[in-house]
Structure 1
């Protein structure tokens, strides 16, 4: 059965059934005794958000289910604002999260070396505007009116000083501004914004153009350094990511198809 059409629950069940059967080394048996407490941002569709019963769901949670189950762990989940989620891990009140590696987070967590998902960063623009295929640098991009949303770390770091940058509370509002012609472009990855554009009915109006100079978004698991045997835990998770790469890629394809 193709991974694209495989039922999401079947993917997760398959990873769970593998459990300790994977050749993940001597840490796997020890890992089976230890549930890991993961925290997620509470409203980042399609990556992490609450389902109808208030439980954590989304692509990141599914990815962590696949990886932890394959490594012989279980995970418990909590949803909260992202700033508080990071503080909770830093304080040792939770064990990990799944996010973009950064130097400030690496002070208190150890990131897996293997990514659970990688997504190109590109330029979202109106479908009838073909100027962005020729843009080759941030300096050239700054000539356009840009939009972003509060909490977008990439925009804050790379285009935050551009005077024409319009900031709004959430990414869907940026997409709607773009569709209405109030801004020229929105720099973001294709995975999340493609899903949101489809959900908002904007794919007929908006287009995405990848530009190599913008790089990629890489997300992976991170475990607090204060957790006993942190390095061994991370090693077993890295092995599980490699072993379950096909399942992780299939989950990402489902999001790209709007099937999450």
Structure 2
């Protein structure tokens, strides 16, 4: 579920999701070049492929700067802890992440999220004998006779999935998907659609994967904003231009299409 990337969220929202950090190496062809760093192990959001940062976040950020002539963007990967340290101390220019109070102390964030991660999905198998219950549920109470597969140590799941539901723990996302699809020891997972579809495809379960959007999962919407280090002299100008781009109907259309492609 990429929860390690969300370290640093408010207590109810600890989910892990590393994002983009920029370095400012100079000016090229009249534009200031911002180099973004991304997590190398956070697919489908960001990862390393052929020495390049790939995934939804690099693509979204590149799209954003395609609309900003004053700046150009490049990408690289780095560990999340290093990214946060570098932004705090002005060694890198910024990141795309949840704008916690702690992060707002050292970074200026875009007014609107560039992406909202949505945990409001039930993930299950088309072969599940309880599929009718899952597809008709309007609350967790309706699922009280079923078994949810959770990730060991996930505070978000502890705080947002009711304790009366029987749980089967998995060590990581691949193990959880195997428990659901292969061993069939649980009935459903709670995950973003992007994560579920990627893992199912990688493990060969795409044909029987079912994903249902529901509205009864608390704290399911996690916004990710572009933030720029307050130590960067022109941080507010970068954010001002990003905010202007995000008001563009053309940008909104293209970014929505890009996000839907991952879902």
Q: Provide the TM-score with structure 2 as the length reference.
A: 0.71
The equivalent of 1:191 in structure 2 is: 194
Contact kept in structure 1, 2:96 and 2:227, CA below 8 Å: yes
The equivalent of 1:23 in structure 2 is: none
Note the aligned Cα RMSD (angstroms): 2.9
Q: 1:242 aligns with which of 237, 244, 247?
A: 247
Measure how far apart 1:185 and its partner are: 2.0
The equivalent of 2:134 in structure 1 is: 132
Distance across 1 between alignment mates of 2:153 and 2:72: 30
Contact kept in structure 2, 1:39 and 1:96, CA below 8 Å: no
- Do the aligned partners of residues 87 and 187 (structure 1) sit closer, same or farther apart at CA in structure 2, a change above 3 Å counting? farther
- Do the aligned partners of residues 167 and 86 (structure 1) sit closer, same or farther apart at CA in structure 2, a change above 3 Å counting? farther
- Do the aligned partners of residues 64 and 157 (structure 1) sit closer, same or farther apart at CA in structure 2, a change above 3 Å counting? farther
Q: How many residues of Structure 1 are paired with residues of Structure 2 in the alignment?
A: 223
The equivalent of 1:224 in structure 2 is: 229
Which secondary structure state, in structure 1, belongs to the residue aligned with residue 147 of structure 2? Answer: coil
- Do the aligned partners of residues 165 and 222 (structure 1) sit closer, same or farther apart at CA in structure 2, a change above 3 Å counting? farther
The equivalent of 1:61 in structure 2 is: 58
Distance across 1 between alignment mates of 2:168 and 2:232: 41
Distance across 2 between alignment mates of 1:47 and 1:143: 33
Q: Which runs of structure 2 are paired with 1:1-260 in the superposition (5 Å)? A: 33-52=31-50, 54-72=51-69, 73-120=71-118, 121-127=120-126, 128=128, 129-137=131-139, 144-149=146-151, 154-155=156-157, 157-159=159-161, 164=167, 166-169=169-172, 171-180=173-182, 181-214=184-217, 215-243=220-248, 244-256=251-263
User: What stretches of structure 1 of length at least 5 have no aligned partner?
Assistant: 1-31
Distance across 2 between alignment mates of 1:157 and 1:234: 33
Cα deviation code 1:148-200 (max 9, x no counterpart):
4478674365349788351423x233222211213322111112322332333
Distance across 1 between alignment mates of 2:246 and 2:43: 23
User: What stretches of structure 2 of length at least 5 have no aligned partner?
Assistant: 1-29
Higher helix fraction (1 or 2): 1
Q: Provide the TM-score with structure 1 as the length reference.
A: 0.72
Cα deviation code 1:10-61 (max 9, x no counterpart):
xxxxxxxxxxxxxxxxxxxxxx643223221111112111112x12111100
